[in-house]
Structure 1
């Protein structure tokens, strides 16, 4: 059995997400009844779109990573827990004993819940099953039990589908991606925090009148409020903050301009890539709808994709660019903090993107929500770093020089995995039962009142009266 799983995992690793995803989409479209030619074109288009998205993301992550590292260097921060980034976390997760099993486990959980009518998400984002393996591998490190680790991974796979169903309508409305949901744990974990803080900010005088969405900014500032110009301006500010001591004035200006132009390009190109993706998804969504209607009436099926399709929105990018220096400041001022952020600062857009539908794109609120989420994340990261370090060493991961412990923003900062790992490591099988009950409570709670849950997660825009108070006519 292990040899079969190793071979299967080897195929996944060899092909990679951009090759594997078109094949999966093609097969799914055929199963759903799409014509072969249409299914082939849909899969190919989606694969090309993800290549484009990854190229633009690479530009953004490289630019932000260089800026963040320069700012960290300027501050002279020294800490004993080093952020090694999500690629390292994924490698550790897939290299663990749970990583070998996580893809079949994730598929089986999804198929079982679909057949039982308990989920509306068909998760084709197989690569990101590493998030489930990450939690499972830390449970193994904490308990010494592979069985507990596999159960934890299965529970996280189920939870990701619950969160995807809950947020699907809001994501579709705000981001304009019909037929899509996002079963991405690193992004969905912000939703409960965002709902709570959004409710609170609605009730704080003065705060509830701040309406800083990108459309309002563009109306107020004209050309200077356009997404590409905002990207340029924010990039210039970040670039100067990073490179002001880089040497002569010419170097500072050139580096700042390079940062500004790169981020302006991201603001323009990412939404274009998502449009290409949606062109490929439409035939699959139509086929899925027809397939389900023939067999289960009006039941919906959404295609579960990576949250990379969301972060091209100006609200997600703008709030994230502000949160990069905020995260560095937090690493300096938080009491007892031992973490130095480094490799994963550039992934903050993934952390905050799913807050946007809840606050209707209000960048101010996204920054507040993102700041609170990061504060929680620092303390979660410190608590999980010994387990992550132990798992990394078992998986043969090469520790960074001068690092005693390691972490990552994705997934080392996430409170939901922390709660799951803590429950199972402290209570064993009882902890597994408690997590299972919690997942079932969320599942059946959502099914009992889907409209109320979806409304809280941004399925409907805020009442116009809020915006009228916030931006009175001049």
Structure 2
């Protein structure tokens, strides 16, 4: 057991840049793609993710200082500090649940695949930290390792089912076949975005109007191109925070580079995934007629859509404004503030690339995230203390916007009831599985139409 734990602890420390290519290659070999083709596919996806991470670093390098200045301008003085997703992930893997989370969730995924309860093969191992985080906070409130493991499994099962539900929309919007997004935070936004999408369909001003990147390009011409939108947004941000001319233009160019390069990195990832997808289809059609499987990936691939990154940048000042005016909020957005694009990544496929719907949904989602992060703060703080986490300077309470998801919060609150709570969670997860199984044909038809 110690050897298994040490092995998967080593794997989790490799990071997504190493793990994802290796997993892609293994999946390729499993689907009989051939050694060299499998390795090439894995390396190509790895190159794409390296490029994606390099481009995303522009957000932290250039937008990070902007957020700090905006916080000072808004004069925010809140009691809980957003420590950010790197801190939350480190904290999650440091818990007892986090140590065994990788082999455990792989087993859960395999079990669901064999029983045909999911179509998603979740190779996004690094982001298993979201499930570990849920399990870790449950351990904090119950003092029981097994309750924590059960809660982590519940989160993973719900994630896989929502990944199946949203897969076709993701594929259609990005043009990447055979993929889904089971990332632990991203899936929690899907039911909310789908509900809001139904509401928008009933609002006269939004019902028959669709403004996506193509519509913006047609109306604005060259100024509607993603790189020009990034340039303008960067310059506006620079002027708002009081940058001088040089730094303002530099920020504008950086944002333009972000808008231009992100989609190109996603295309590199797609080049690696297409052979895997084709090989999977051929393999599965021979052995499981009528069964379709998806490769579960990080929600980062959704940031290649110009709509996502544009709205994400606009959400930075919106999030700060919400933090200032919402009466229930105690969280100071900081560590995850430059990562707002991840919070609305699933809105783009759900709203079919519509700019205004994504922006409205993003604003609603940020309010929900702030609320959950604030309510979660005492438990997260206690969990951090238990794992020996190093608090940010002058912070006595911490949380993370990336951990502010309502599914983890609900599971943790039910788990506080211990045996009764476990029964409630089991019934809820069973209900989710039953609902999707019973309505499988209707859901598939709806998604295909979208």
The answer to whether the superposition gives a TM-score over 0.5 is: yes
Equivalent residue in structure 2 for 1:284, among 276, 289, 294: 276
Distance 1:281 1:170 in 2: 17
CA contact (8 A) 2:373 2:399 kept: yes
The CA deviation string for residues 387-446 of structure 1, in whole angstroms up to 9 with x for no partner, is 1011111111111222121011111x1111111111111x21222222222223223322
The reply on whether 1:356 has 2:355 as its aligned counterpart is: no
Correspondence for 1:444: 434
Pairing 1:235–2:234 present: yes
Give the Cα–Cα distance (whole angstroms) in 2 for the partners of residues 74 and 219 of structure 1.
Answer: 36
* CA distance in 1: counterparts of 2:219 and 2:441, whole angstroms: 34
- State the Cα distance separating 1:40 from its structure 2 match: 1.4
Q: 2:295 pairs with 303, 325, 342, which one?
A: 303
Aligned to 1:87: 86
In structure 2, relative to structure 1, the CA distance for the partners of 1:143 and 1:208 (3 Å cut) is same
Q: Which runs of 5+ in 2 are unaligned?
A: none
Change (3 A) 1:390 1:132: same
Q: Aligned partners of 1:61 and 1:435: how far apart in 2?
A: 37
Task: Provide the residue aligned with 1:5 in structure 2.
Answer: 5
| Structure 1 position 192, deviation (Å) | 1.1
- Whether the aligned pair in 1 keeps the contact of 2:128 and 2:184 (CA below 8 Å) is no
Q: 1:430 aligns with which of 407, 415, 420?
A: 420
- 3-state DSSP of counterpart to 2:121: strand
Q: Which residue of 2 is the match for residue 418 of structure 1?
A: 409
Task: Return the TM-score normalized by structure 1.
Answer: 0.92
Matched residue, 1:471: none
Please report the RMSD computed on the Cα atoms of aligned residues, expressed in angstroms: 1.6
Q: 1:2 to 1:428 in 2, by over 3 A?
A: same
Say if 1:135 and 1:149, in contact at 8 Å, map to a contact too. Answer: yes
Is this contact kept in 2: 1:320–1:348, CA < 8 A?
yes
CA drift of 1:373 comes to 1.3
Deviation at residue 455 of structure 1 after TM alignment: 6.5
Would you say 1:342 and 2:341 are equivalent positions?
A: no
TM-score, length-scaled by structure 2: 0.96
Other-structure match for 1:453:
443
Q: Number of residues paired by the alignment?
A: 450
SS class of match (1:79)? coil
Instruction: Give the aligned partner of residue 35 of structure 2.
Output: 36
Q: Secondary structure at the match of 1:99?
A: helix
The answer on whether the counterparts of 1:64 and 1:345 sit within 8 Å (CA) in structure 2 is: no
Contact 2:124/2:297 (<8 A) preserved: yes
Q: Which consecutive segments of 4 or more residues in structure 1 shift more than 6 A?
A: none
- Write out per-residue CA displacement over residues 37-93 of structure 1, whole angstroms, 9 at most, x where no aligned residue: 111111111111111111111112332222211111222211110000000000000
- Give the drift of 1:338: 1.5
Q: Label 1:24 to 1:206 Cα distance change in 2 as closer, same or farther (>3 A).
A: closer
**Contact 1:136-1:151 at 8 Å conserved across structures:** yes
1:198 & 1:173 partners in 2: Cα distance? 17
The gaps in structure 1 that reach 5 residues or longer are 245-250, 462-474
Structure 1 residues 431 and 293: alpha-carbon distance in aligned structure 2, compared to 1, 3 A threshold: same
